[in-house]
Amino acid sequence: MFIMKKNFYLFRHGETDFNRRGIIQGRKLDVGLNDIGRRQAEKLAETTEIADAEVIYSSPLKRALETTNIIAERLKIPIVIMEDLTEGDLGIAEGVCFDDVYRYWPEIMKNWCSPESMDIGFPGGETKRQILARMQRIVRVLLAAKETNIAISSHSSVLRLFLVSVGGDGRKLPNAKLVHLVWHDGIWKIL
């Protein structure tokens, strides 16, 4: 009997100055890593867990792509840029500091990190359901890819929502945090 197994190494980009200052970036604020973020990416590239990756699929945004480039160079593996790995469109909340976001949109923020309320989103942006649907489309494509050890470089909202859909707890991923998922014969497991 044939059993299909794939390893997915999901990671959030390294730190940016906007992360440090508590400003929501979303997809419209396309900034690169700061010095801490570059060191985080270098440290992530040295972890033994990601060493098995055969390819990195990356968001095209600078912060994710810069993280990807550092890791791919160290591991000597190819990069494939996928637009759907871009951070969620957070509408008018982009460029706003978290304290103000909580003050202006308390109901949205109350429900943003919960697995419920999938149709909530910031004015002018995507809903959580739309963000998750993009990630699920990509994962379906990658399940059919030839590689069995796949790294994905993306962003907080995209990764968090996908992880919740496969049993994660919904907590925000720290910068350059790696999560190892295994897909084994139709079942997801977070290691």
Q: Over the stretch 19-43, which tens digit does the pLDDT of each residue have?
A: 999 999 999 999 999 999 999 999 9
Query: 96-117: per-residue pLDDT in tens?
Result: 999 999 999 999 998 887 777 8
CA distance 164 to 188: 11
Beta carbons within 10 angstroms of residue 18's beta carbon:
18
Summarize pLDDT for 153-176 with one digit per residue, the tens: 999 999 999 999 999 888 889 999
The Cα–Cα gap between 180 and 191 comes to: 6
Catalytic site includes residue 184: no
Q: Report the alpha-carbon distance of residue 105 to residue 13 in Å, rounded.
A: 26
155 belongs to the catalytic site? no
- pLDDT tens digits, one per residue of 114-144: 777 899 999 999 999 999 999 999 999 999 9
From residue 40, how far is each of 155, 176, 177, 183 by CA, in Å? 15, 6, 9, 27
Cα–Cα distance for residue pair 67/107, rounded to 1 Å: 33
Residues β-bridged to residue 178: 11
Cα distance between residue 166 and residue 85, in whole Å: 17
Instruction: Say which of 15, 66, 87, 94 is annotated catalytic.
Output: 87
Identity of the residue numbered 132: L
Joined together, the tokens standing for residue 64 give 């994710």
Both tokens assigned to 43:
């440290």
Contact 34, 63 (CB under 8 A): no
Domain hosting residue 143, numbered range: 5-190
**Considering 13, 66, 126, 155, which one is annotated as catalytic?**
13
What is the CATH number for 145? 3.40.50.1240
Residue in 184, 179, 191, 188 with CA at minimum distance from that of residue 47: 179
Q: Provide the number of structural domains found in the chain.
A: 1
Long-range contacts of 19-22 (CB under 8 A, 24+ apart): 19/175, 21/97, 22/97, 22/98, 22/99
Tens of pLDDT, residues 56-88: 999 999 999 999 999 999 999 999 999 999 999
